[in-house]
Structure formats: C-alpha cells, structure tokens
Amino acid sequence: MSLKERITEDMKAAMRARQAERLSAIRMLLAAIKQREVDSRAEADDAAVVAIVEKLIKQRRDSIAQFEAGGRSDLVAREGAEVKVLAEYLPQQMSEAQVGAAIEAAIAEAGATGPAAMGKVMGLLKARLAGRADIGRVSAEVRKRLAG
C-alpha cells in the first residue's frame, strides 16, 4: 500500500470514528498532495508525499512559534495536534547517533575540510536523510564539525 493510499484509508477511519481534528489535518494533507499532483501533472509517489508532509510540518511549527509570541494558546494547541497527525506519515526518525554517523560518512566521502565544503556534504546528506532527520539540525551539526 502506498503512503497516499494509507492516508486515504486513515481519512476514512477518522470519518467513521468522528475524529474531527484528525480528519481536518488529513484532509488538509490530501489537498496539498492533490495540489502538487495537479501542478506537476504527475502522480505523487511516496518520496513526494514525504516531502509534502515535511513542508506542512515546517509550516505548522513556524505558525506555532508565531502564535506563542502572540499569546494564542488555543491556536498553538490546534497546530500542535496537526503536527502530531502529520508526523505519523514520516518515516521513522533516525537517532542522534545514526545522524552523527551519516554526517561523518558524508564528510569522509566528500573529502571535506573546512566550511567551504558544506554544500557538497549537505548535498549528500539531504538525499540520504530526507524525511528521517531534521535537515536544519543536520546542517547546524555539519557546520559545527567542519568549523572545528
């Protein structure tokens, strides 16, 4: 079963269980997938769906930061619930040790020395860690390791 099919089945289950918040988040995800398919005129594969989920989670986290700054705890809770639902569709996240090992391997493979090689290392890591690690945190760690 593809990821998109799983999401559709989860939507049906949420409808039957009358889980309004979950249903809303899943419908929003399916709408984003459909929009991407219409824009690209191609069926979204699992990698594309994961990329869409990551983008939506990033948007929700940005919104949470804004709502917290504005004192809107009701909206923070709603966005947080959406993040939890969306996170179910990401592959299992890598541990810190696994991410560290992947960074070391990419630095060695690229023969990277110094901050100038950051782009080459990140190019390798983005493909390998997509959906399985927070690329922002990975980038910060690579920067730290190449600087020191």
Range 125-129 average pLDDT: 83
**CATH number of the 3-87 domain:** 1.10.1510.10
Q: What is the pLDDT of residue 111?
A: 80
Mean pLDDT, to the nearest integer, of 44-71? Answer: 92
Q: Is residue 117 scored above 90 in pLDDT?
A: no
CATH class label, 96-147: mainly alpha
Averaged pLDDT, 107-129: 82
Listing DSSP states for 73-141 in one string gives: HHHHHHHHHHHHHHHTTSPPPPPHHHHHHHHHHHHHHHT--SGGGHHHHHHHHHHHHTTTS-HHHHHHH
pLDDT tens column, 6-40: 999 999 999 999 999 999 999 999 999 999 999 99
Cα separation of 55 and 135, whole Å?
12
Say how far residue 73 (Cα) sits from the centre of its chain: 23
Q: Does the reported pTM lie above 0.85? A: no
pLDDT score, position 57 = 92
Task: Read off the pLDDT band of 110 (50, 70, 90).
Answer: confident
pLDDT at residue 19 in the model: 95
Domain range summary for the chain, segments of one domain joined by +: 3-87, 96-147
